[in-house]
């Protein structure tokens, strides 16, 4: 984790950076864990990534990498391109290379994150996956256990088991580790593709609203100990209180006050209420 700590300041994402339309590209091997800078597959737990990047992740992308997030519990706001998914865990999110995405998750949940080099998926598609017109991996996908039909529950459980297998293999130094990891990933992608017809419905989100929402949460993080009032935040962000309320309700289904209180739960001290 020492290398991760050294990289953290260089990799910090600030919502105001998106004001010019620039979206940060994160390469997990370079920006998070240089021990695996050339790894075609990278595994990490949600909990460890949250320590490094936070649980309110601003808009970013991963060039040349597919990514899979599996979040075990709690309320989840996950944005993929112009879609916003508001679901409860367990839930899986699939993001194609270079597609902007962001998310907000609760403090105590955990799960899995896989980064997979696009050449691995392309190889799988060349071997026959793309021949089925219903299997489309070029778009963001959200799957939840709640949205599965009874006959698909076994496939959903298999996804969970495959992620656990990938985690266990990642943490070992066994013979043929890379080959085993690759084949587990092949099976995982096929299962996701098979269930993609059961993806959760999404709502459209305005990118400017999303930028302001993450800017608000970033300002909370900075000024949490200063007991700012709501008017202080809206002045800093440059929006009216009513606009900020509408943005928070649309993106997180909660008020600015609730977002502030959520930030308080990540700290150990008691602070004044947002006024």
Chain segment 146-163, per-residue pLDDT in tens: 888 888 888 889 999 999
Question: What pLDDT is attached to residue 55?
Answer: 81
| pLDDT of residue 133 exceeding 80 | no
Q: CA-to-CA distance for 219 and 4, rounded, in angstroms? A: 24
Alpha-carbon torsion, ordered 245, 250, 253, 254, to 10 deg: -10
Q: CA-to-CA distance for 51 and 63, rounded, in angstroms? A: 23
For residue 60, the SS3 value is strand
Q: CA-to-CA distance for 275 and 272, rounded, in angstroms? A: 9
Question: What pLDDT is attached to residue 142?
Answer: 93
DSSP state of 31: I
Give domain limits for the chain.
Answer: 2-199, 206-264
Question: What pLDDT is attached to residue 6?
Answer: 45
Question: What pLDDT is attached to residue 268?
Answer: 38
| pLDDT of residue 269 exceeding 90 | no
Selection from 220, 170, 134 nearest residue 43 by Cα: 170
pLDDT in tens, 75-132: 888 989 888 898 988 999 999 988 888 888 877 788 999 999 999 988 887 776 655 5
pLDDT in tens, 203-250: 777 777 777 887 887 788 788 778 888 888 888 888 888 888 888 877
| pLDDT of residue 43 exceeding 90 | yes
CB 205 within 8 A of CB 248: no
Question: What pLDDT is attached to residue 177?
Answer: 93
Band of pLDDT at residue 45, cut at 50, 70 and 90: very high
Report in angstroms the alpha-carbon separations of 270 from 137, 156, 224, 254, 266: 45, 40, 10, 21, 11
| pLDDT of residue 137 exceeding 90 | no
Token code pair at residue 52:
């490094």
Question: What pLDDT is attached to residue 273?
Answer: 53
pLDDT in tens, 165-189: 999 999 999 999 999 999 999 999 9
CB 60 within 8 A of CB 29: no
Which of these ranges, 135-139, 260-264, 265-269, has the smallest mean pLDDT?
265-269
Rounded to 5°, the CA angle 244-144-130 comes to 110
Question: What pLDDT is attached to residue 160?
Answer: 93
* CATH class of residue range 2-199: mainly beta
Question: What pLDDT is attached to residue 20?
Answer: 43
Question: What pLDDT is attached to residue 134?
Answer: 56
């Amino acid at each position: 984790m020492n290398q991760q700590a050294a990289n953290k300041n260089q990799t910090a994402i600030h919502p105001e950076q998106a004001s010019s339309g620039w979206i940060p590209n994160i390469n997990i091997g370079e920006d998070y864990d240089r021990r695996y800078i050339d790894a075609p597959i990278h595994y990490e737990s949600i909990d460890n990534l949250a320590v490094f990047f936070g649980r309110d992740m601003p808009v970013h992308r991963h060039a040349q990498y597919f990514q899979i997030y599996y979040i075990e519990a709690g309320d989840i706001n996950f944005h993929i391109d112009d879609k916003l998914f508001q679901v409860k865990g367990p839930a899986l999110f699939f993001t194609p290379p270079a597609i902007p995405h962001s998310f907000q998750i609760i403090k105590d949940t955990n799960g899995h994150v896989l980064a997979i080099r696009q050449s691995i998926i392309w190889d799988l598609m060349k071997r026959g996956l793309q021949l089925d017109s219903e299997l489309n991996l070029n778009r963001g996908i959200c799957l939840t256990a709640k949205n599965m039909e009874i006959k698909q529950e076994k496939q959903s459980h298999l996804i969970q088991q495959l992620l656990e297998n990938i985690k266990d293999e990642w943490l070992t130094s066994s013979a043929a580790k890379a080959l085993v990891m690759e084949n587990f990933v092949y099976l995982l992608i096929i299962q996701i593709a098979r269930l993609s017809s059961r993806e959760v419905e999404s709502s459209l989100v305005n990118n400017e609203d999303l930028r302001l929402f993450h800017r608000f949460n970033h300002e909370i993080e900075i000024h949490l100990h200063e007991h700012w009032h709501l008017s202080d935040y809206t002045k800093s962000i440059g929006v009216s209180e009513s606009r900020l309320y509408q943005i928070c309700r649309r993106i997180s289904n909660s008020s600015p006050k609730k977002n502030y209180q959520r930030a308080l739960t990540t700290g150990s001290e008691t602070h004044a209420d947002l006024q």
